[in-house]
Every structure is written in structure tokens, then in C-alpha cells.
Amino acid sequence: MIPDLVAAIEINIDPELFGGGFSLTWHGLFTAIGIAAGVWLALRFIRRIGVSEDDGMSVALVAVPSGIVGARLLWVLEHTDQIDNVGDVFALTDGGISVYGAMIGGALGGFLYVTFFRKGFPVWMGLDAAAPGMLLGQTIGRVGDFINGEHFATASDLPWAFRYTNTNTDGPWGALVDGEAPAAAFWHRGEIGQLGEVPLAVHPVAGGYEPLLDLILLGGLLFIWARGRLPLPGMRGPVRHGWVFITYVLGYALIRGLLALLRTDEQDIVGGLSVPQLLAILTALAAAWMAFHLHRNPQAPVGSFDGGVEETRDEARQEGRTRRADRRATKMRQPGQSRRGRRRR
């Protein structure tokens, strides 16, 4: 009988759906569902901008494998202590993928593909179409983390903390010390027969907090798409293509960077920063550069049809040049004084 030391949500689910010659885990199942749902949603937006579904699918067939490779590669680099042999590197269904690796690998793979093999493909439109799908896939994939419990977080006595009670779980177990949870360095994955060991209640970071915050961010992306050519509150003009993807990158950087403060299974690499925190900073800087680029080179409004991209883009550039010229003219004038008046003096 497990002592109910603190109130918590108990999760007693075997991470493995079935074993034998072919095993399937909940993590692998929801990863596959997340990929399928993400591609489906991205293709819906691809059609809205006038790109054929075949062209969108061809990009997805490159971006998805690139994302999987990036996800596993980054996780392996982060958790070398959990790799015992070469086979462990490829054990995708057992869990152990990095969402950041999937984001970077998928976006980079898709970008390189359209740059070199799909000349003329509307890149910023494509990134905006992909962003909601990528986020939806991440959110569904986190359901597998909710069941597995392999992402350790700090101990918690909050009523919504997760306690993984299945003996086959990857969730944290440990031997209590004077009724308190031991330091994270002494935790282990599931029951190992240690004297006095119990499942530990922890913050539901990967399986609770992150998917909820991802859904909020996804709602924001869908809201921008739903507004189409209409300006958002407080804006003078419409939101232009590229800003949906930038919002996704910045929003997820904030979510992942802050939640990393509650994780105990991530290695520090630079100045006390973990890999996800460092990547959050780097991707936020990349988003800032993209924002500067788009400010200088405005794209068509969100939801524009690809058939009129070039014409609309030229109009957007002219609008940007006009705004800059107006600002320069304003700076040259003193308040309440015309150019003619200034020359007379």
C-alpha cells in the first residue's frame, strides 16, 4: 500500500500498451497521432493560401522526418547518461524526444527543401501555415509524456501534482528521508525494489503545464489566422505573413524557458542554463531577427491567396517605404513649424 503522504493526482497506467515481438507504448502512439494531426491542420491552412495540397504534402514528407531526426538527436545529446548502447539511440517508442529538436529540425528541413527544390514557394506563408500544425502536434504528443512520466520535475505537495504509481512507469520513485522526498539525484524510474521506496509527487510540467500553455498559444495563432486581413486590436494595419510563425517561436520559447526552471532532468551547459533554456534564448533571438526582416520587407496580409502574392507583396513594400519616408519627414520638422517657416529663420 502506497502511503498518501500528500494529496496528488495518481496515474496508474502502464506506459506500454502491449509487448512481445512488437511493443507499442503510449508515448509512441500519441507521437504518431500528433504528427498526423499536425500535418492535417497545416494542410488546411496551406489550402487557404492557394498552395496545392500536393505541394504542401511534399514539404511535409521532408519536414516530418527532419523533425523526428532533430527531436531524437537533440534528446540524445541532452541525455547521454541514459544511452547504454547504439540501440537506445533509435528507441523512439520508449520516449525521449526533444520538442525543440522537432521544431528546429522540421522547420529547417522544410525550409531547405523549398529553397532548393521548390523555387517560388511562398516561404513565409508556408511557415505560417505550418505553425498551428506544429503546435497541435506538440500538444498531442505531450499526452504520451503525461502517461509515461519520464520528464522529472521538482517535488510538489500541490493537489494537482502527479504521482506515477504504476510499477512499470518511467515516473520518479525514491526512498523517503524523514518523510520527505530525497534529492532529485537519488530518484529512479519506477520501482526497483529499494527499501522504503514510494512514487514521488512532482509538478506536472511536461504532461500538464506545457500542453495547457501550448493550447493557449495555439488559440492565439488561430485567432490571428481567423482575423485574416483585419487588423488586431491596437494595430493600424493587417497582420502580415510571417508573424504567425514568429508568434509561435517567441511564445514557445517563453513557455519552454520558464518551465525548465521546474525540471530536474536537464543538464546545465552554459552559465547554469540548461539546453532548453539556451535554445529558448537562441530561438527568441532568431525570432527577433525575423521580425526585423519582416518589418523591412513586409509580406502579404495573413490569409492572402498565393495567386496574388507578388502583387500584394509589392504593395506591402511600397506601403513600408511610404511609412519610413513619412517618419523621416516628420523628424525634419519641428512641432508647429513648417519647412518654409524654418528657412525664413
- 19 phi-psi bin (left φ>0, alpha ψ -120 to 50, beta other): beta
- 149 phi-psi bin (left φ>0, alpha ψ -120 to 50, beta other): left
- In the prediction, which pLDDT does 311 show? 46
- In the prediction, which pLDDT does 88 show? 67
Q: How far is CA 77 from the centre of its chain?
A: 19
Grade residue 312 by pLDDT with cuts at 50, 70 and 90. very low
Closest CA to 218 of 140, 104, 101, 279: 140
- In the prediction, which pLDDT does 53 show? 87
d(CA 300, CA 311): 9
Grade residue 177 by pLDDT with cuts at 50, 70 and 90. confident
- In the prediction, which pLDDT does 240 show? 84
Strands 268-270 and 162-164, by their bridges, are: unpaired
DSSP secondary structure of 310-339: HHHHHHHHHHHHHHHHHHHHHHHSPTT--H
- In the prediction, which pLDDT does 343 show? 41
Sign of the dihedral through C-alpha 161, 165, 166, 171: positive
Stronger pLDDT, 17 or 232, i.e. the higher one: 17
Q: What is the pLDDT of residues 97-129, one digit of tens each?
A: 788 889 999 999 999 999 888 888 888 999 999
d(CA 280, CA 204): 20
pLDDT at 149 exceeding the cut of 80: yes
Whether 61 contacts 168, CB under 8 Å: no
d(CA 215, CA 206): 13
pLDDT at 342 exceeding the cut of 50: no
d(CA 46, CA 54): 10
pLDDT at 214 exceeding the cut of 70: yes
Q: What angle (nearest 5°) sits at the alpha carbon of residue 159, between those of residues 158 and 164?
A: 95
H or E, element range at 11: strand 9-11
Q: How far is CA 16 from the centre of its chain?
A: 26
pLDDT at 32 exceeding the cut of 80: yes
Grade residue 167 by pLDDT with cuts at 50, 70 and 90. confident
Average pLDDT over residues 279-292: 94
- In the prediction, which pLDDT does 91 show? 65
pLDDT at 270 exceeding the cut of 80: no
pLDDT at 137 exceeding the cut of 90: yes
Average pLDDT over residues 254-275: 87
d(CA 243, CA 221): 9
pLDDT at 309 exceeding the cut of 60: no
- In the prediction, which pLDDT does 67 show? 92
- In the prediction, which pLDDT does 94 show? 57
* Cβ burial, residue 54 (10 Å; 0-12/13-18/19+): exposed
Whether 65 contacts 108, CB under 8 Å: no
Q: How far is CA 122 from the centre of its chain?
A: 22
Q: What is the pLDDT of residues 60-90, one digit of tens each?
A: 999 999 998 888 888 777 777 666 666 666 6
Grade residue 307 by pLDDT with cuts at 50, 70 and 90. very low
Question: Across all residues in the chain, what is the average pLDDT?
Answer: 82
- In the prediction, which pLDDT does 93 show? 55
pLDDT at 264 exceeding the cut of 70: yes
148-162, 255-269, 305-319: segment of lowest average pLDDT = 305-319
Whether 151 contacts 189, CB under 8 Å: no
Q: What is the pLDDT of residues 247-257, one digit of tens each?
A: 999 999 999 99
Grade residue 6 by pLDDT with cuts at 50, 70 and 90. low
List Cβ<8 Å contacts ≥24 apart for 189-192: 189/150, 190/164, 190/166, 191/167
Strands 9-11 and 162-164, by their bridges, are: parallel
Point out which residues pair with 18 in neighbouring strands: 24
- In the prediction, which pLDDT does 33 show? 95
pLDDT at 27 exceeding the cut of 70: yes
Average pLDDT over residues 169-184: 83
